[in-house]
Structure 1
């Protein structure tokens, strides 16, 4: 049976071919190896700081042992040869996180009649990549794949770039990362083991995180929780739900903090923006809980007999104007008490109006006057000018009455006088206690409202600073030889 042209060519090429040594006639001649990458997929494992890339490792070199005349084989210019039959360069990933036991795909090598060999195996590289989480989730990352021969120096295998960037014609977009730029750099390094320099080709990949997922699942819920904390300040100071709501929101922030920590690498070099924002929000929420306790404590001071100190009342009165709250001044608040005291001084002497024994009509008049007094005290309709005028008239009445029969009048007036005095004194105590209670309530409301504006200012500054201003400072500086990633 007659052999085919490819069989005859393969048998001819493999005669006396030794794949263990470099295929050069002169040992002093280096093999020029061109290396390039065709990117298919990328994935970033942030927890382990690893870039996983599925690529075609394009390698091209000249093999002086694989040369033939196409006319001898019916113009056969290119042949596919199993890579296990020919010499292959020992290209490895220097920054690999694997043990490299798997090896490359046993793809066919395309050999031309001039001795040019092109071998593009499919490889999955897992390279170490330092993840900078400072601007997470508005961050840009730069990862590299450092390729080179493990045993050959520059005088034996000279590595060069096959193209200036990474081929992205077959690249499949990643849902989390957007590939923005690529760069290829040829480095010549001298190691301590060898006198001759070693060559490596480093492929740089610039990526930008897509923030839509984190915006909907982390940022928006956190902002909503921060806004929900504002409701704590709109509850009444004596409501116990203020503290419960604050603690619930604080617990929700802790859950989000744990979710972020699960995906972030365990590093103390940088703290992510979203972590700073959530931590700040937790501190502000804890502040709102402390404020709720303080306001509740101030509000419960109304249960006792302690009056609001003058300086506290003056400060809260000033703050009430700033926060658009209506709070009476210290003088206005104690006006009714002073008026009631003055009223008692005016009304009680007027009970002595006659030396005669009080008749039923007289008793009825006193009872009506007592009821009028209660209404005036209850409604606060007493006038200060009228009080001074009535006090002057009663002073004259007392002088005329004192000249009469003191024994007879005292017997008639003493029961009424004691009754009126007890009524006025009781109303004065009730009014004073009511004013004290209202004073503590107003102080608690003013303090709560002032701390509400303080909390709102802190929340807005934290949100704008962490989620708007700080991400704008993330300017990635690119070199001139960086190529934009334009995939179809």
Structure 2
């Protein structure tokens, strides 16, 4: 007696013991069956149960039709780097075994029974897209009904390949395919069909999933498709699973903090342009945003097939912070370096900035009532007398008068030097005011362009991300 026969005998013994134990536990139930009923059932179909490799068909020319349905219990995760979808699904297989048909009245109303899977023929299904290790739990039993209907529910932890498009991350939608086929049997042996319509598949899966996890299920469609190879035709059943990411976590962790940093940079334009704190503040923001990108590097998907749109969003935010810092540096250069070199505002700059650009941005120059007085405050009028008093007299000036005359000449020369210095200071102050006006106009103009660019970029991103809702 071989080990296979001994193992099979022990399995049958355990099977009968399980049935008897079940009957004993349900002694008060409506479907209670005695030991003799199960013994008669086993003796009736012993030949069929002893030949589990035989396909349930009276003739080999007629194929066995199998109907499939899937129920997605959990979407475990999606790996964007390796294009892998991990799901936990329950697969129901239904077919008819014409050799296992009986009248329930002959067995005291026994209309169905649970038997081990190794006792009868089962199809050799597998998933074409399966790429990982099979960690699915093993189900040792299946249900057998009196009309020959066989139902086999099998849980599968499916690790399948899926072509992921992460361009709209985190507002991305993916369509993954699960292709169920047979390894040995062709269409001449086994035919495939759908057990439930696509609407019912989606409804059952949504009830199992609920409202949890990062991913939500949008749709499930099933379609039996024959596969033609060079020599044989194979039956396949293709299920298309459409899922969408819930982006709320990524909005809180990525999009909103980045937008707040840009908002702080916008508010920094209201700092005085002649203050050094503006540049220091913008440099601090730039360093903080760089650290933010380093921390978020592990969250962003790294896909060789393309760059997600959110990567462009972060790049634009970084470019805006850099451009804002460059703008502050440019304005500081115009405000300080030009004025310190005692350079007057060129005529073309005065015409272009203080007139045309100022009118474009509706900038009005403040005119003070004391401006004219401040311009003439350093103006000193010195009347030079051609004929001194002593020249009109016939007397010859004394030594005291000569010393006084020399003192007055020196005093006049010193006053003239002071007058020239004050005029230069007045001209420099006027030039500084003009350069400051130029700086104000350029700062306001660049600020408006900055706001305009942010608005256009935000609208474009919103339009692109709104494609997420077009499912």
CA 1:74/1:231 → structure 2, altered by over 3 Å: closer, same or farther? same
Matched residue SS, 2:45: helix
Question: Given the alignment of the two structures, is residue 232 of structure 1 paired with residue 262 of structure 2, yes or no?
Answer: no
- What is residue 234 of structure 2 aligned with on the other side? 198
Structure 2 Cα separation of the partners of residues 336 and 268 of structure 1: 68
Mapped pair 1:173 → 2:226: no
Distance 1:261 1:20, change over 3 A: farther
Once the two structures are overlaid, the 10-residue window that deviates more, 103-112 or 117-126, is 103-112
Are 2:261 and 2:285, in contact at CA under 8 Å, matched by a contact in 1?
yes
Render the CA deviation track for 1:97-146: whole Å, top value 9, x for unaligned. Answer: 2144x565224211012221001122221222222112222222212221
CA distance in 2, matches of 1:138, 1:334: 63
User: In structure 2, the residue corresponding to 1:250 is in which secondary structure?
Assistant: helix
Q: Which residue does 2:44 correspond to in 1?
A: 12
Task: Write out per-residue CA displacement over residues 262-290 of structure 1, whole angstroms, 9 at most, x where no aligned residue.
Answer: 34443244332322221111111111111
SS of equivalent to 1:15: helix
Say if 1:404 and 1:142 are closer, same or farther in 2 by CA, change over 3 A: farther
Partner of 1:244: 280
Q: CA deviation at 1:74?
A: 1.5
Matched, 1:76 2:110: yes
Partners of 1:351 and 1:416 within 8 A in 2: no
Aligned to 1:52: 86
Aligned to 1:447: 442
| Segment drifting more, 254-263 vs 287-296 | 254-263
Alpha-carbon spacing, 1:285–1:43, altered in 2? closer, same or farther (3 Å): same
- How do 1:259-274 residues align onto structure 2 when only pairs under 5 Å count? 261-274=297-310
Query: How big is the shift at 1:446?
Result: 2.4
For residues 216 and 3 of structure 1, the distance between their equivalents in structure 2, rounded to whole angstroms, comes to 64
Number of the residue aligned with 2:13? none
The residue aligned with 2:30 is none
Distance in 2 (CA, whole Å) between partners of 1:185 and 1:464 is 40
Superposed CA offset, 1:355-389 (max 9, x none)? 425xxxxxxxxxxxxxxxxxxxxxxxxxxxxxxxx
1:314 to 337, 342, 351: 351
Q: Distance in 1 between matches of 2:441 and 2:138?
A: 75
Question: What residue is the counterpart of 1:366 in the other structure?
Answer: none
Is 283-292 or 47-56 further displaced after alignment?
47-56
Correspondence 1:184 to 2:222: yes
- The structural deviation recorded for 1:75 is 2.4
* Aligned position for 1:141: 174
Secondary structure at the counterpart of residue 209 of structure 2: coil
Partner of 2:465: 471
CA contact (8 A) 1:46 1:131 kept: no
State the secondary structure of the residue aligned to 1:262. coil
Structure 2 unaligned spans of 5+ = 1-19, 21-33
Q: Structure 1 residue 474: deviation in Å?
A: 4.5
- C-alpha separation between the residues in 1 aligned to 2:75 and 2:43? 41
Deviations 1:406-459 (A, max 9, x none): x98994863453243223212112212222333333323322222111111111
Distance 1:81 1:443 in 2: 91
SS at match of 1:430: helix
**For residues 63-104 of structure 1, what are the alpha-carbon distances to aligned partners after superposition, in whole Å with 9 as ceiling and x for unaligned?**
23322333332121111101122211111111112144x565
Q: CA deviation at 1:333?
A: 9.7
1:351 Cα deviation from its structure 2 partner: 4.2
Matched, 1:293 2:340: no
Give unpaired runs (5+ residues) of structure 1.
358-400, 478-488
Matches within 5 A, 1:218-229: 218-229=254-265
Q: TM-score, normalised by structure 1?
A: 0.77
Matched residues in 1 for 2:452 and 2:269: separation? 14
TM-score (norm 2): 0.79
Where do 1:376-395 residues align within 5 Å?
Answer: none
Identify if the C-alpha distance between structure 1 residues 334 and 473 changes in structure 2 by more than 3 Å, giving closer, same or farther. farther
Q: Secondary structure at the match of 1:163?
A: coil
Query: Do the aligned partners of 1:145 and 1:202 also contact (CA within 8 Å) in 2?
Result: yes
The answer to whether the Cα contact below 8 Å between 2:217 and 2:242 also exists between their aligned partners in 1 is yes
Residue by residue, what CA displacement relative to the aligned partner does 1:188-234 show, whole Å, maximum 9, x if unpaired? Answer: 11124xx2211211111222322322222222212111111113322
SS at match of 1:170: helix
User: Per-residue deviation at 1:257?
Assistant: 4.1
SS in 2 for 1:114: coil
Deviation at 1:328, TM superposition (A): 7.5
Between the aligned partners of 2:280 and 2:125, the Cα distance in structure 1 is 63
Mapped contact 1:33–1:59 kept (Cα < 8 A) = yes
Q: Does 1:109 align with 2:142?
A: yes
The one of 59, 65, 68 aligned to 1:35: 68
Moved more, 295-304 or 168-177: 168-177
Structure with bigger RCO (C-alpha 8 Å, 6+ apart):
1
